[in-house]
Structure 1
């Protein structure tokens, strides 16, 4: 394998991937595409390892290739090209939900380091003794208690100390990983089954999902046909109404959350509800002000910039 070719391909994919495409906030950026730290977080590896891969100084395992492909949400053809450059056959992309005895023995070798293994949907599938010795993970038998994202957003550990910026970055990475999981039909089915077991049987379930190909898989279609209380509503590509929803949440974040100090989840919920009350007392609709001509002009400028960049490279 030509390591530098694989590394160059990874770097090109990373730099050409828009943060929004993998569920990350755009923010202010000095680099194109994703940062190495962001790719590392999404793929479950360090930024230094991503750098060594891109520089051709490390040989990736098949698992690393699959993790990078999932993190960047690349197309099948690009995935197969990465596999070919790394010297592996393309896999079907499924993520195992169990660990073998060998992996458990490896976890237990880290006697002084709390460690866990999760599946693509952030459900814990294995932990070592050092992790349980922390004593902060109180398990009640509820399946949600074993989900890292659920505990982070809905029932956080007050013993964990993070700065506001670190917490925001961590939550953004978790949300992006969950979105990645839903873009594979096996994980989507697991997600649907979890909802089915936790929502009372007498309730109908309406889900708003992006218009991706996961729901068209035969296994997903068959499952939904057997569970008629599930109703899927798809967002049209580039849907302006969804942009307005996202813009409203951006306003909530900028005007209230980032300006406030919250000592507990209850404080945060109270502040959000107060913001909703004030906003609903005098609601103002979002108005689309851009003209078709200005949008097309921006597309043309972007195309020229991309062509210039490609010529320079």
Structure 2
């Protein structure tokens, strides 16, 4: 049997639904995730999973391999083996990684009731929790895999109406670009990343001006007011944590345990903001293609 099929089946059987934050239902004849569950997590069809596991499809794209690697919570060594089994070159060390380490995936499964999102070093969205999506009225990564905070801020201009940084929009934009400069210093040989920067520069004079300032700094925590159409304005702390030995960023919004802001957040957690967003059960391993 083809190595790719063997690996996919073996990795699927070692995960339980609880490991990926989904509810188990019905009697299970075999251990591990069902094919339907893996397909949902990776954003592919069940038929495609079947064809891969039966060896009838042996050349998945790099995007599909990356999505499945995240869904299966593979570590970096396993991910590299998965790429090679698909006759693909694993992403190099200079490439902006969209891999969420398995330990981080398990951690954010346990934090799934918080407004939490995971971003790559180029600010591509890799995962968001249901409360994050309810707070910002945004789709899941499975539904829209091309979400990028830099593009949303400087090209689409869609962020300003959703949230306001208390230091002002200029402070938020400068912090984003300075952080992206850190990525350029570490991944300057990534051709996709360089092309991404060139595209945003061409479309946004505001971004180009900030980029040309050359300021380099890690994104700092901020206080923001989120403008929600159902529950109203919510004042929240926004903390950005970079995972050690990884470029992955965890962005978490929080507030005090009591008070009007906490009440509004709890209303959204209980489903009070569902009128503005699509509610689904996407996992931490939702698929995202590279730039």
Give the alignment's TM-score, normalised by structure 2: 0.39
More strand by share: 2
Give the alignment's TM-score, normalised by structure 1: 0.37
Structure having the higher Rg: 1
